[in-house]
Amino acid sequence: MLKFNEEEYRKSADLIRKARPIAEAAADKVAAEGYSNIFFTAVGGSLSPMMAIGCMSKQLTNIPVFVEQAAELLTCGHKQLTKDSLVITLSKSGDTKESVAIAEYCKNNGIRVICCTKNEDSPLALASDYVVPMKHENGVEYEYMLLYWIFFRLLYKAGDFEDYNEFGEQLCLLPENLLSIKKKFEEKAGDIAKEHYNAPIQYWIGGCEMWGEVYLFSMCILEEMQWIKTKSVTSAEFFHGTLELIEKNTSVFLIKGEGKGRQLDERAEKFIKTHTDNLVVIDTQEYALEGIDTKFRWIIAPTICSTILVDRLAFHFESYTKHNLDYRRYYRQFDY
């Protein structure tokens, strides 16, 4: 596979699996202490898996769950954020300033924080009560695994997710499944990139638990890392503006989920396929998950999307645009 280190990916899987008991122990401790609500907060790509969890929480629990952009949370505040809250944040580097700032705010106000970060001596880790290590070098989808082991364990302790033990074990099988999916998608990734890399603009559509991945790939990969003009919109909102921009040669990407929102994706698909010749459908349902129960697929679906877009399609776009994914003009180049 293009620019892919399989040995490193497999090593990262082992490191993530070793973090499971740490994630669960943090969840158990907080559950025993009690909490009134849960805040997921981060910025950029780290917010993406939290968006998926926020959508799932509405269908699974009565516990108030808030997903907040860290800079907005710091600036505007939130009346529900109190000493009884639990804050969960994520930054691989551990020095993302907005995430560090919200953790420090919480520390100063007696609010418990669980953070996922690679560097256990980082500013974020030092400002948090519980640190779940992100030791992986490869695989954005591993961030989902850590957050799932925390969140769904909390739901289990609250009596809202009785299948947690089964689910937690099956998550350990995810890396090998995703590796197979990457390989299956590889040729398609090359074809997609070749066809669409120089489009004047790309439209990315998806919804519900898949929206975070649409947000991440369109903004963090295509805009930030590839400087490709994009417009992203949810499947539900597509019919309230963006549909008027679809023409015969417009490049449109539709991400189909496996939960209740799939019917909204299919509604958008029905319209789009009759108005452009350049529709690409990414349907996670096309990919098998060995050893993972069907009832968990709608929860796992965002990780499939992540693995084929961020870990595969991004590198194929790079190969055609000749724009290095690591090159930035502005991001982290100076203070702003």
Q: What is the mean pLDDT of each run of 10 residues along the chain (336 residues)?
A: 94 94 98 98 95 98 98 97 98 93 97 95 97 84 95 98 98 97 98 98 98 97 97 98 97 98 98 98 98 98 97 98 94 81
Position 245 scores a pLDDT of 97
Cα-based distances in Å from 213 to 210, 218, 282: 6, 8, 12
Position 194 scores a pLDDT of 98
Distance CA 12, CA 136 (A): 4
Position 224 scores a pLDDT of 96
Position 336 scores a pLDDT of 78
Distance CA 297, CA 284 (A): 9
The 112-117 sheet, strands edge to edge: 65-69, 37-42, 85-90, 112-117, 130-133
Position 140 scores a pLDDT of 75
